[in-house]
Amino acid sequence: MVKPILIIDPGHGGNDPGGGSNRFWKEKDLVLKISLYQYNRYKELGVPVAITRTTDITLSPDERTRIVRESGARYCHSNHINAGGGDGAEVIHSIYDGKDMAERIAQEFRRVGQNVRRIFTRTLPGNSGLDYYFMIRETGTVITNIIEYGFADSPGDDVEQLRTNHLLYAEVVVKAFCDFAGYTYRSTDGGAGNVDNPINPPTNNEDNSTGQYIHLPATENSWRVYPLNVAPVKGNEKGFLNPAKFGGLTYEILGNPQSHVYIIKTSDFGRVQIYGHPSTGAKINKNSGNNNSNPKPSSGTADPTNKHLHLPSSASSWRVYPLGVSPVKGNEVGFLNPKKFGGLTYEVLGSTQSHVYIIQTSDFGRVQIYAHPNTGATISDDDRRVSPSTLQGTGDKFLNLPASSSSWRVYPLNKAPIKGNESGFLNPKKFGGLKYKIQGNTQSHVYIIETQDFGRVQIYAHPNTGATISNS
């Protein structure tokens, strides 16, 4: 199953109607309608998506945030209707991330005539290092935006706008996310063609070669495939192929259950149906062509090559993929953050296809990574890594944390020092600042210190955080 990049959370539900209710709607019902609309639209557009609830059920805060954390998604929309007498949409983001996506969503609201009251963050009283809203604070590394589409008790025009335009507002959030995350957006009026319901959906599981091949054009980056026992229509997809990623794709046709619907066998989804009307750009002939008819990266050998992959410090998000799947958007096992560490270096253990390498990571194990030269990645003989297991001494150097900070993350030695992996928080403000002797460093601006509460840990202390290094 393809891991989602996005999970949608319809707020409230079940015995919690939500405060954004009025005589026209209950908040839990309106946000579910908005969320289901978005869920289906993302599936149409080839965006791997999940959702916390599809019916009117009760989810506790712990259940809701656990579903989001365990979804494997990178991003979350938490959909709500506001209350309190204001007017306009609001988008809330974490104090640590999510602002860029929030601003893109707000921009789209304004474009269709919904005013934006504010884009903001809020911290937990008594701890400025934690987010106030549990949907942002407790969803781990998932970048969550709480989207308030308008006010249920607005003295302005929100009530009428939400009654008539709620699906329009749902749609513009879809557009904003696609633009933000790099997915191709197509509007609802004239995007992908419709497929008629088949009279007899195919149930044949035999491989019967027809001697013909279907060729999918290199111009398309998302092509639906369907299970054999369902109608090949929007919403029934088993997954998506990406012909553009491979310069086009070719498959042997194993059956033809109805006009322009073919049975093919793929490495990622097995035996499936595919719609290939000539108007889609697909071509049928008896030539297998030069394309790989069933592209799938091998597990690859994992032997050192004495080459090293360097990811530039300008990139804040870099996809990595399991070894047994195609390294295409939607199949990610996770994301690296070279920017966080001033760049990252990995030994190249092998290659599954051109510009796709096997590396070993601490967070995701052995994975594939796409690193064409035009991405900014480079390959060289130079090993720039510094391993936590071979800590480099720094002499009598000390790390000074400023008294202005009330919350500073520390991380275990065996994990990447990124948000979500914390072993705890220091509070320099409480003690008028804190000082620690530096025991070593695992990478640029990441130091090993010994703390009373958490033992030996890593700490990130770039100069722009206010931390300083001294000899005493």
pLDDT per residue over 391-419, tens digit each? 344 457 899 999 888 889 898 876 777 77
pLDDT score of 446: 85
Verify that 217 and 147 share a domain, yes or no: no
Verify that 170 and 23 share a domain, yes or no: yes
Please give the tally of structural domains in the chain. Answer: 4
Which of 47-51, 165-169, 199-203, 245-249 is predicted least confidently?
Answer: 199-203
Tokens of 65: 């945030």
pLDDT score of 261: 84
Q: Which residue has the higher pLDDT, 233 or 76?
A: 76
pLDDT in tens, 338-350: 887 778 888 888 7
Q: Does residue 147 have a pLDDT over 90?
A: yes
Verify that 15 and 83 share a domain, yes or no: yes
pLDDT in tens, 209-264: 667 889 888 888 889 888 886 677 777 788 888 887 777 788 888 888 777 888 99
Dist. CA 136–CA 95, nearest whole Å: 9
Verify that 13 and 132 share a domain, yes or no: yes
Q: Which residue has the higher pLDDT, 336 or 231?
A: 336
The rounded percent of the chain whose pLDDT value lies above 70 is 86
Tokens of 29: 């019902």
Task: Provide the 8-state DSSP code for 16.
Answer: B
* Cβ pair 183, 329 in contact under 8 A: yes
Verify that 80 and 162 share a domain, yes or no: yes
pLDDT in tens, 253-308: 888 877 788 899 887 788 888 988 887 888 888 765 534 444 433 334 444 567 88
What range defines the domain where residue 280 resides? 213-285
Domain-terminating residue out of 380, 403, 418: 380
3-state secondary structure 190-255: CCCCCCCCCCCCCCCCCCCCCCCEEEECCCCCCEEEECCCCCCCCCCCCEEECHHHHCCEEEECCE
Q: Which helix (H) or strand (E) holds 158?
A: helix 158-181
Verify that 114 and 239 share a domain, yes or no: no
Q: Could you tell me if residue 191 is inside a domain?
A: no
> Strands 239-241 and 143-151: what pairing?
unpaired
Verify that 43 and 135 share a domain, yes or no: yes
- Which CATH number do you get for residue 423? 2.30.30.40
Cβ contacts of residue 356 below 8 Å, gap of 6+? 297, 327, 368, 369, 370, 371
Q: Which residue has the higher pLDDT, 205 or 12?
A: 12
Verify that 16 and 135 share a domain, yes or no: yes
